[in-house]
Amino acid sequence: MTPEDFITYLRHEKRASENTITAYSTDLLQFSAFCAGRFDLANISNAQTIMVREWLAQLKSDGTDNRSINRKLSSLRSFYKYCQRLDASVSNPATGVSALKTKKRTALFVPESDMAKHSLATPDDFIALRNLLIVELLYQTGMRRAELRSLSPEKFDFNRLSVKITGKGNKQRLVPLTPSIAELVSFYIKEKEARFPGNPYFLVSKAGKPISFTTIHNTVSQELGGITTLDKRSPHVLRHTFATHLLNNGAPLMAVKELLGHTSLAATQVYTHNSIAQLKKIHQQAHPKG
């Protein structure tokens, strides 16, 4: 039982995303290197709790933030649970190690008044059209950057006004499309086909190759820079914006959970602080003693 076996399991049985696989690989390789250098331990399946504690202490000493340390601890716990499924005699040295305290993160979002400034007017330039589509799809569907990049034209159903999104763990979900975004997608696909006949990809570069993660991020940052003063302008901020705006306008939490593709309601509840703030404002304005 090695980290390599675990990664193979994640990739082929759990069908984890490449980002998840990369994170687990990095964490387990770091711990393996630490154990080999500090304790002369060749296989971390035989690691002890003291080794985990010393590794985390070393990470803290090196300046690693608590949130990253907790993620690495979670990686270890997952690895040892996998080992225990294969061999019940294997102990989990990460079980007795407590996670570090972290500050509660606030989900940044673009105000509705700012998003209203993002024009849906169809540009003449193909790349400008693609960039407009990137921002609007992220905002109107709440999909992740990786989910957007992996989209193919056949995932759109223009009759039912929906898009099939493949999320984490290869799980699929249907998300509705507004008529305006559906029309924009349809127009873009026709323009792309005219320039790159038979091209199977959805979002493409000037050369017709699949768009990169960096291009998606830079496009969002540039497009949002023209409509908001928010310092952080990323694809994930648009996902936060999607969820927050839905909740602020009365959408049920469970519905937002399904649209985001969350497996746990707790993951969706990070956005409720914003809707609570909106409710407080409404309460103050409407209540006789507000």
Question: What are the tens digits of pLDDT across the range 53-77?
Answer: 999 999 999 999 999 999 999 999 9
Most confident of 90-94, 145-149, 272-276, 285-289: 145-149
Whether 256 contacts 243, CB under 8 Å: yes
Q: Give residue-wise pLDDT tens across range 154-183.
A: 999 999 999 999 988 788 999 999 999 999
Domains of the chain with bracketed CATH: 3-86 (1.10.150), 112-285 (1.10.443.10)
Give me the percent of the chain exceeding a pLDDT of 70. Answer: 93
Confidence bin at 92 (pLDDT 50/70/90): very high
Burial track 211-225 (b if 16+ CB lie within 10 A, e otherwise):
beeebbbebbeebbe
Q: Give residue-wise pLDDT tens across range 10-47.
A: 998 888 888 889 999 999 999 999 999 999 999 999 99
**DSSP-assigned letters across all residues of 8-37:** HHHHHTS---HHHHHHHHHHHHHHHHHHHH
Whether 110 contacts 140, CB under 8 Å: no
Confidence bin at 276 (pLDDT 50/70/90): low
Q: What is the pLDDT of residue 102?
A: 80
Per-residue pLDDT averaged across 77-104, rounded?
89
Q: How buried is residue 155: exposed, middle or buried, by Cβ count under 10 Å (0-12/13-18/19+)?
A: middle
Q: How confident is the prediction for the chain on average, in pLDDT?
A: 90
Residues identified as active-site? 144, 168, 236, 239, 262, 271
Look at residue 290 and tell me whether its pLDDT is greater than 60.
no
Per-residue pLDDT averaged across 268-285, rounded?
68
Confidence bin at 281 (pLDDT 50/70/90): low
